[in-house]
Structures are given as structure tokens and as C-alpha cells.
Amino acid sequence: MFSHHRQVEYADTDMAGIVHYSEFFRYMESAEHAFLRSLGLSVSMDVGGRRISWPRVSCAFDFRKPLRFEDEFEIRLTIEKIGGKSVRFRADIMRNGEELASGRSTSVCCQMEPEGAMTAVAIPDDIRSKLEAAMGRSNE
């Protein structure tokens, strides 16, 4: 499990003073980016002369309790599945040990072409090995 800590900013809240549901997706994404950086990876990087990126193909959240302005919280990120070309993450949003929301996202490894086209490709071996090692640590 990878743990990422945040605090709710005023701009994250709606008129009711609670975090707008759309912000949870940003929180999950910030944890994913921090996790990848911790492995020496990025969501957009050169690998063997190819530009690799990880566009989302699926993303969902279930909500249990709200977050409010200035709440401090934790995003617990785990890898649920590594496929041939994709990775599925789970993010649990926690405050003081209590789960407030849980989400999942699936991203596909894509080669980015100069003209903007994307082609799904097999996850490069060096990236896969780092993700698998991290996945093994998250299940302990």
C-alpha cells in the first residue's frame, strides 16, 4: 500500500462546505502520480525511444462520508491488477482511520505518436517489474 497525505483546500469544496465529488478523482490521481514518482516512473515518460503515457479507461468512486474544508486525510493506494497493457488501482480515502470513500481507476499503457495518436502497448518489462514489486509489497 502506498500512502499519500493531503488537506482539503477551500477551492475543493462546494456551496455546502463539503468536498465536491469530482475532487475525489483528483485526489486519487495525485496519489497515483506520487506513487509512480516513488518508483522512478511517471504518467508520461520516454521508454526505449517511445513516449509512454497512461490514459484512463475507467474510473469510479463510492462515497460514505464527506470531507470538509481543512480536513487532513490519507489516500491509501494499492494496485489491484496488472494486465498485459493496463493497471487497475484502488484508492481508499481515509480520515483518522475511517474510510470515507473508495475508488478504482484503470489506465492503459499507450505509446504517444507525434501527431497525437495513441496506441495501446504492452507494459514495458522494466515498468512492469517495478509495478509488480510494489504490488507485492502492498499485499503484505
pLDDT score at 114:
85
Q: Is the pLDDT of residue 140 over 50?
A: no
Query: What tens digit of pLDDT does each residue of 50-83 get?
Result: 999 999 999 999 999 999 999 999 999 999 999 9
User: Please, what is the average pLDDT of the chain?
Assistant: 94
Beta bridge partners of 58: 106
pLDDT score at 21:
95
Query: What are the CA-CA distances from residue 59 to residues 6, 9, 17, 113 (Å)?
Result: 20, 23, 25, 24
CA nearest to 35, candidates 26, 45, 43: 43
Q: What is the pTM of this model?
A: 0.90
Q: What does 69-138 look like in DSSP terms, one character per residue? A: TT-EEEEEEEEEEE-SSEEEEEEEEEETTEEEEEEEEEEE-EEEPTTS-EEE-PPPHHHHHHHHHHHHHH
Q: Can you list the domains of the chain with their CATH numbers?
A: 2-138 (3.10.129.10)
Q: DSSP assignment, residue 40?
A: T
Torsion angle of alpha carbons 94, 97, 98, 100, nearest 10°? 0
